Amino acid sequence: MKKRKRTNRTKRTGTEGGGRKRPPLERMKKIYAQLQDGKFPNCSTLAKEFEVARKTVKRDLDFMRDRMAPTTRRACATAGR
């Protein structure tokens, strides 16, 4: 059995292709601030603002709804639609 020669591969970080990646906590803090200000942006608007996929914002909102205070749960339930 021949051994494969290792190549110099870069580790996948999710930022290939020149895209920026914001930490999830920073995104959630900004979403939370908007909710506290009485704004209820939808997933598409937030995705454009944070330069992430719509599904990423949906996951953030689901996480916030499930794990944060009851007032955030109500706000997240109406946001993202």
Is residue 17 very low, low, confident or very high in pLDDT (cuts 50, 70, 90)?
Answer: very low
Provide the domain count of the chain: 1
pTM, entire model:
0.60
Q: Tell me the CA distances in angstroms from 54 to 1, 3, 27, 51, 71, one per residue in order.
A: 46, 43, 13, 9, 23
Residue numbers of the domain that contains 56:
23-78
The 10 Å CB-count burial string (b at 16+, else e) for 67-80 is: eeeeebeebbeebb
Q: Has residue 43 got a pLDDT over 80? A: yes
Residue of 49, 73, 44, 50 whose CA lies nearest to 61: 73
Q: In the structure encoding, which two tokens stand for residue 14, read together?
A: 């999710």
The mean predicted confidence, pLDDT, of the chain is 76
Let me know if residue 55 belongs to a domain: yes
Q: Has residue 33 got a pLDDT over 60? A: yes
Is residue 60 very low, low, confident or very high in pLDDT (cuts 50, 70, 90)?
Answer: very high
Let me know if residue 35 belongs to a domain: yes
